[in-house]
Structure 1
Amino acid sequence: MKRILLVEDDLSLINGLSFAVKKHGYLLDVAHTIDETDRLWQNGKYDLVILDVSLPDGSGFDICKSIRQTSKVPIMFLTAMDEETNIIMGLDIGGDDYITKPFKLAIFMSRINALLRRSDNFNQADTELSSSGIRVRLLKSEVYKNNKLVELTASEYKLLCLFMQNPDQVLSPEQILNRLWDCDENYIDNNSLTVYIRRLRTKIEDDPGNPKRIVTVRRMGYKWITED
């Protein structure tokens, strides 16, 4: 059975979420603070972490950063803050999805199921991707360019893996957003994706101004070019 860690301090919300999660057959542990989260995380193994952004003793962003130092477990943010900058920051530091309060339980559960399904598919993939001088060691989440380690954010890493798993195929912005983040395009839109693409190019391209690996296909999207 899948085990989920919920970090939330709103007792009325916890009751409803706990009922829905358990009804769908998942095991659930609940933490109300960062300290409780640290204790549960050290003592348990989880398939998904759900983080409220605002907590009594800090921020869910801090928990996410700490978890990402040692784990690639899927992370979903629960937030009443719907500003684009907060959502992009949550995704950029390692979050995989977000949902803004208030929300419907059916939508909440569908997002959970999607995250767990994508995680299972990812874990069943090959242990290594290699193309055009870039190598990704999936089990260790390490990226090498010409055998030199490259430091990527979680969002950049997911983007790179998506491109390399779909070589020489044009991916539209909508396809990329839906497959990586399941995001409402009002927040993570084409302009935001352009920023992520530009950041990734600066780290993996020899000449970011004249990219040879991730190329733009005008009016269609982006494509990973294989040169091997």
Structure 2
Amino acid sequence: MGARILLVEDDHAIVRALTSLLQAEGYEAHTASTQDLAVALLSEEAFDLALLDVSLPQGNGFAVCAAARERAPEMPVIFLTASDDEYSTVAGLDMGAVDYVAKPFRARELLSRIRAALRRARGADSVLRLGDVYIDTASAQVTKAGVEVFPSALEYRLLLHFAQNKGRLVTREGLRDAIWDSAGEYVSDNSLNVYVKRLREKIEDDPARPRLVVTVRGLGYKVGE
């Protein structure tokens, strides 16, 4: 199994859905529905990441976060919060959480946040490579064959998503999810085509015959090299 994830959530439907999602991605999911159960698990077992709901029938996610910080200071914590609960979001980040995801959330977005948190916790290299294109995620600098290129914010987000999924099929739906937050509005197929075309013009040797981001008709894109 992959990373061990502690899910602290009292909504049984969410627990079932998230457990299936995490297991399908190769993670080992452990669940707790109350503060006491979560704290007990943290004291008995080691986890790579915790997903914490703020509101619990007994106790709250903040107390669980405090216990996690005490027992495993390096373990990343991601809060699951109501979309309009600004106080909980800020309080969770102030307590040391690395991220938060607002409910209702999209599965791909949550998985992306989890992967990013695990990479940071494991000290992953901040430089990603796609062919002769290098992305320094610490400085957001992109170079091709040693020459800096300047993608737009949306193009950079797309490039990151492609680089993080090298060797895999990237669906169009997955790409829309990846740039939705940045765009702030629905991204149509035509708009997505434009963004990918502009990105190719900056990272491909021959944009008309792409090697890094190859179209798979009807499905999405295959990311090579």
Length-normalised TM-score, structure 2: 0.53
SS in 1 for 2:97: coil
Query: 1:93 & 1:112 partners in 2: Cα distance?
Result: 18
Q: What amino acid is the match of 1:14? A: V
Which residue does the alignment assign to 2:50?
49
Query: What is the CA deviation profile of residues 31-81 of structure 1, one whole-angstrom value per residue up to 9, with x for unaligned ones?
Result: 010111122112211000010000011110111112212322000001115
Do structure 1's residue 98 and structure 2's residue 94 form an aligned pair?
no
Do structure 1's residue 70 and structure 2's residue 60 form an aligned pair?
no
SS in 2 for 1:28: strand
Query: 2:68 & 2:27 partners in 1: Cα distance?
Result: 21
Query: 1:3 & 1:69 partners in 2: Cα distance?
Result: 18
Query: 2:5 & 2:41 partners in 1: Cα distance?
Result: 11
Length-normalised TM-score, structure 1: 0.52
CA RMSD, 1 decimal: 2.4
Higher relative contact order (CA 8 A, sep 6+): 1
Which residue does the alignment assign to 1:111?
113
Query: 1:17 & 1:80 partners in 2: Cα distance?
Result: 16
Which residue does the alignment assign to 1:88?
90
Query: 1:83 & 1:112 partners in 2: Cα distance?
Result: 21
SS in 1 for 2:110: helix
Query: 2:86 & 2:112 partners in 1: Cα distance?
Result: 22
SS in 2 for 1:58: coil
Unmatched 5+ stretches in structure 2? 127-137, 140-152, 158-180, 183-225
Which residue does the alignment assign to 1:199?
none
Tell me the matched-pair count. 130
Query: 2:98 & 2:106 partners in 1: Cα distance?
Result: 19
Query: What is the CA deviation profile of residues 69-117 of structure 1, one whole-angstrom value per residue up to 9, with x for unaligned ones?
Result: 2322000001115333321111011111000110111111111111111
Which one has the largest radius of gyration?
2
Calculate percent identity across the aligned residue pairs. 40
